[in-house]
Structure 1
Amino acid sequence: MESLQVQDYMDHYPVTFTPEMVVEEAALRFLKTKQIGGPVIDQSNRLIGFLSESDVLAKMIETIYYNEHIADVNDLMRKEVLTVKPYDSIIELGQQMLKNKPKVYPVVDDGGNLVGTICRNDVLRAIDLHLRSGFKGK
């Protein structure tokens, strides 16, 4: 079970945002990628926040009400972000996901640089594949 690591099931090319991106552009990025959240990174690829689809939806409603640009990603992003490492256990992450609310976790290296994301569906797929491979010989 310890061989199930985040790096083997994570999304290596996640949707990302920058702090200066306008909320309308972030909304479009969510629509195009069908993602529910994504990391906010600086120019050096360091994780500085997280933006969810619901964060953007709230501001888009305000934008339509006032008919003007309301916010940038920096105004909306959460700065306290739960992260995982590529070498972390999928099983431990699954247990953590049951206790904490995030559905998507940024995966960062030891230097705080973004290397991907992993979501509940990825964890479920990893466990399913592991279980299926174990039952083949029985």
Structure 2
Amino acid sequence: MLKSIRVRDCMSHHLVTFRSDTDLLDAIDRLLEHHISGAPVVDSQGHLIGMISEGDCLRAVLSGACREAAGGSVSGYMSTPVESISPEADIIDLCQRFLRDKRRRFPVVEDGRLVGQISRRDVLRAVKAFARHEAGQPPEV
């Protein structure tokens, strides 16, 4: 049963993250380098304090164009507050949130700390693996 799959079971653990004082141009470089559209912003204790996305970076570029200078730190452009999800949430509830909130990913927070991230793609992979298992098929390698 799909409701038995938890966010913890299929979330990504190895994330690109930023600090609020990260230079915006460095953040853009890392987003491009890792082929990702956004990343969490954490404090020194690993608490989630924001998200920086391609859209946030584009707003920064436009803002900088008006002043003839692009740049600054991530803190000036990151999105806050951030909606997160518990690692114990089930996949059905998560899918409903994805559709209702029109989000592609949620940071996963436990005891106030960022522990992972879950995307629509992660859910689809988990559903595919679950269906293969239920059908008695071996996992894909």
Q: TM-score, normalised by structure 2?
A: 0.86
Alpha-carbon distance between aligned partners in 1 of 2:25 and 2:3, rounded to the nearest angstrom:
42
Within a 5 Å distance, the mapping from 1:97-136 to structure 2 comes to: 97-109=98-110, 111-136=111-136
Say whether residues 1:80 and 2:65 are aligned partners: no
Distance of 2:23 and 2:80 partners within structure 1: 17
Distance 1:36 1:96 in 2: 19
Q: How far, CA to CA, are the matches of 2:134 and 2:51 in structure 1?
A: 36
Structure 1: 5+ residue stretches without partners: none
| Percent identity (aligned) | 35
The list of structure 1 runs, each at least 4 consecutive aligned residues, that deviate by more than 2 angstroms after superposition, is 60-71
How far has the Cα of 1:25 moved from its partner?
0.7
Instruction: Give the Cα separation in 2 of the matches to 1:69 and 1:61.
Output: 8
Q: Secondary structure at the match of 2:40?
A: strand
Give the alignment's Cα RMSD to 1 decimal: 1.8
TM-score between both structures, scaled by the size of structure 1: 0.88
Residue 73 of structure 1 and its aligned partner are, at CA, apart by 0.9
Report the equivalent of 2:96: 95
Distance 2:133 2:49 in 1: 38
**Aligned residue identity for 2:96:** Q
In the TM superposition, 1:1-138 aligns within 5 A as: 1-63=2-64, 66-109=67-110, 111-136=111-136
Which segments of 5 or more consecutive residues in structure 2 lack a partner in the other structure?
Answer: none
Count of residues paired in the alignment? 136
Tell whether the 8 Å contact from 1:38 to 1:104 is kept in structure 2 after alignment: no
**SS of residue in 1 equivalent to 2:4:** coil
- Residue identity opposite 1:108 in structure 2: V
8 A Cα contact 2:43 2:49, kept in partner? yes
Given that 1:62 and 1:70 are in contact with CA atoms closer than 8 Å, whether structure 2 keeps it comes out as: no
Q: How far off its partner does 1:38 sit?
A: 1.2
Distance 2:96 2:131 in 1: 17
Give distance in 1, aligned partners of 2:18 and 2:57.
Answer: 12
Q: Which moved more, 1:61-70 or 1:116-125?
A: 61-70
Rounded to whole Å, the distance in 2 between the matches of 1:74 and 1:66 is 18
- Alpha-carbon distance in 2 for matches of 1:47, 1:115: 9
